[in-house]
Amino acid sequence: MTQHERLLIIDFGSQVTQLIARRLRELHVYCEIHPYQKVTEEFLKEFKPKAVIFSGGPASVFAEGAPSAPPLVFQLGVPILGICYGQQLMMHLLGGKVERGHGTAEFGRAFVTPSAETLPLLDGWFAEGREQVWMSHGDHVSEIAPGFRVYGTSPNAPFAITADPERQFYAVQFHPEVHHTPKGAQLYANFVKLAGFTGDWTMGAYREEAIRQIREKVGDSKVICGLSGGVDSSVAAVLIHQAIGDQLTCVFVDHGLMRQGEAQEVVSMFRDTYNIPLIHADESDLFLNALEGVSDPEVKRKTIGRLFIDVFQKHAHEVGGATFLAQGTLYPDVIESVSFSGGPSVTIKSHHNVGGLPEKMGLKLVEPLRELFKDEVRALGRELGLPERFIGRHPFPGPGLAIRCPGEITRDKLAILRQADAVYIDQIRRHGLYDEIWQAFVALLPVRTVGVMGDGRTYDYACALRAVTSVDGMTADYYPFSHEFLGETATRIINEVQGINRVTYDITSKPPGTIEWE
């Protein structure tokens, strides 16, 4: 068991609790999130937190069986920060009053102004008189608990920031962990400083802890892991291999829709560099035959997803006796799959193409990256010694080139697309632009156009270059290449790739476009 200074986040069910953990990791503070049901007096005594954070949550303190915390938490003598529901619960348990919504519910941006007294928790705040915060609450505090004072108010929240500095109890009505509270990170920094954290946590420590947890969970069982060649599944595989060695077998399903040289790269890296047992399931014929004549993007995705499950299952059975399936699920995948409104959201594209695999195979899941964001996974990959060129790779969709070849897919088209894509990526790397771009690729258009080369007429395919910047793939802007770059790239593609005689650049942002063409 690692002995870091530990902060305990008690989770009352907020959608953004993981963001609190992320803000703390950025401050090099080790924290663990535990659901309130698990946080008993015994748990607290054993955990020995150096500080505690009460998360937000959707409940009302008046509800029957409302989420709560054991009274002991207030006697530990450690700083506590309550957020939103956490604030209401603190007031409720410490002798203040909470009232139901009735027209005072508040959702969205608000501005907090300071009271006369200063509070170290707010160091760096209010330089411009007021701060923007993000509110999201139904009930509100109507009377603060004895010992507390008010340090900030908003038009609808007279108790936006409250504290009992003697006991180091802090309670805010808004969410400092979200980006819409621009000075939120500063508030967390102040809180952990007040709690005396030295910031001794690193990605190296995270790796150690993750390895310990994987060993504890898996014991001496066998684990299989589907490798896609992307960063997430690769980092998960290398991490798990470091934890349990050859109890792990990776299965790489090659659907014949990878980019140039990609399948070979994955196989040699895992087998030769890392010595991880790997099954290379070359099933390109199966996939490409099934996709013959298919032009509808959703049918393509579903066909690939279905076959993937079949093939994966077949090869996983060869391993024999595996009880766990490892996946490189990231935190954004987890939040995306929980709808905020509680209702089903409209399917733009069915991204989760291999959903349902664990249930179908009766396997338990190991998802060691479930709490991390993409940039943290990359940092963990570096910690694990994965090559930089690999870690920085652009994301690549599960259905691969199938969705970069709008309309019907043929082997010939895929060969042309692979070559054009390789030239384009080479251009981007040569110009030193690769790391500035979130994703870049060529889409081969299902249309032939007339051109002239030498003295002859050509009648070949047109392609579109795509390059976008993005933070999370949810929104994106097209990348502003120079005309020189675009001209040079078009010339190279037309000269070097037989079958393409026209190159266009896609300048659509997302929304209204999507990143991929299908």
**Which residues contribute to the site for ligand XMP (CB under 6 A)?**
301, 349, 351, 353, 395, 397-399, 439, 473, 510, 514-516
How far apart, in whole angstroms, are the C-alpha atoms of residue 387 and residue 397? 21
Question: 340: exposed, middle or buried (C-beta count within 10 Å: 0-12, 13-18, 19+)?
Answer: exposed
Cα–Cα distance measured from residue 256 to residue 401, given in angstroms and rounded to the nearest whole number: 9
Report the catalytic residues: 84, 175, 177
For residue 32, list its beta bridge partners. 8
Closest to ligand XMP by CB, 160 or 231 = 231
CB of 252 to ligand XMP, least distance (A): 15
Measured from the CB atom, the residue of 341 and 347 that comes closer to ligand XMP is 347
Two tokens, residue 449: 């156009």
Name the minimum Å distance from CB 123 to ligand XMP.
39
Q: How far is the CB of 472 from ligand XMP (least distance, A)?
A: 9
What burial letters (b/e) apply to 315-332, b meaning 16+ CB within 10 Å? bbeebeebebbbbbbbbe
CA nearest neighbour of 374 among 466, 468, 473: 473
List the structure tokens of 467. 């390059």
Least Å distance between CB 304 and ligand XMP?
Answer: 8
- Give the tokens for residue 199: 């910031």
Between 60 and 514, name the residue whose CB sits nearer to ligand XMP. Answer: 514
Residue among 101, 116, 3 nearest 49 (CA): 3
Handedness of CA 23, 370, 435, 500 (dihedral sign): negative
Closest CA to 500 of 393, 395, 440, 424: 424
Kindly state the smallest distance separating residue 341's Cβ from ligand XMP, in Å: 20
Cβ-contact 518, 406 below 8 angstroms: yes
Q: How distant, in Å, are the alpha carbons of 185, 258, 356 from that of 261?
A: 43, 8, 30
Rounded to the nearest 10 degrees, the angle between the axes of helix 203-218 and helix 374-383 is 90
For ligand XMP, the closer of residues 56 and 399 by Cβ is: 399
- Strand pairing of 149-154 and 157-164? antiparallel
Dist. CA 176–CA 188, nearest whole Å: 8
Q: Whose Cβ is closer to ligand XMP: residue 35's or residue 395's?
A: 395
Question: In the bound complex, what is the minimum distance in angstroms from residue 509's beta carbon to ligand XMP?
Answer: 11
Nearest-approach distance from CB 464 to ligand XMP, in angstroms: 14
Of 121 and 326, which has the nearer Cβ to ligand XMP?
326
**456-474 burial: b if 16+ Cβ within 10 Å, else e:** eebebbbbbbbbbebeebe
C-alpha neighbours within 13 Å on the C-beta side of residue 255: 29
Least distance from ligand XMP to the Cβ atom of residue 505, Å:
17
What would the DSSP string read from start to end of 338-360? Answer: S-TTSSPPP-SS---TTTTHHHH
